[in-house]
Amino acid sequence: MLLQQSRDFTLHVVGQQFRHTPPPFSELHSLLGDQAGHWGYMQSREAYQKLLQQADVVLSTALHDYQGIAVLEGAAAGAWPIVPDRLAYQELFPEACRYPAQDEPAAMAAMLLQRINEKAEGGAESRVDVSQLGWGQLAECYRQQIERVAKRGAP
């Protein structure tokens, strides 16, 4: 769908690689051709941060994700999150960022294409504010909780 729309984009697939790579990843890499960007693990935190800061979108197709940390990092760096409407994402991101569970691949592709088109036309929202989830905002809450537990004593 995206390749057929002739929009210019680069897809980076960032993350740890294991001994066995599922065939769809190899197929996608081949299908993308010149539009495939960085593929795999990033050797430094700095390089990872730089890539995130250049990204327009951070995409998740996760079936299992307890906290959505990688997507939160992308959103904090300024990328627009596009995530499934399940898991922790329902608590973290507004509905405008979540694609529905019904026919997920098509829904995700449509949302991504819509985002690319909006950006090309200059009308896309630029970011989702996740600052309330940063350490600067949560440190005091954690300190209070730890003190409360410490006062009660260990179980």
At 155 the pLDDT is 57
pTM beyond 0.85: no
At 44 the pLDDT is 94
At 61 the pLDDT is 87
Point out the residues of the chain with pLDDT beneath 50: none
Is residue 100 within 8 Å of residue 90, measured between CB atoms? Answer: no
Whole-angstrom Cα distance, residue 114 to residue 94? 16
Is residue 58 within 8 Å of residue 71, measured between CB atoms? Answer: yes
pLDDT digits (tens, 9 = 90+) for 140-155: 999 999 999 998 875 5
Look at residue 21 and give its three-state secondary structure.
Answer: coil
Q: DSSP state, 129?
A: -
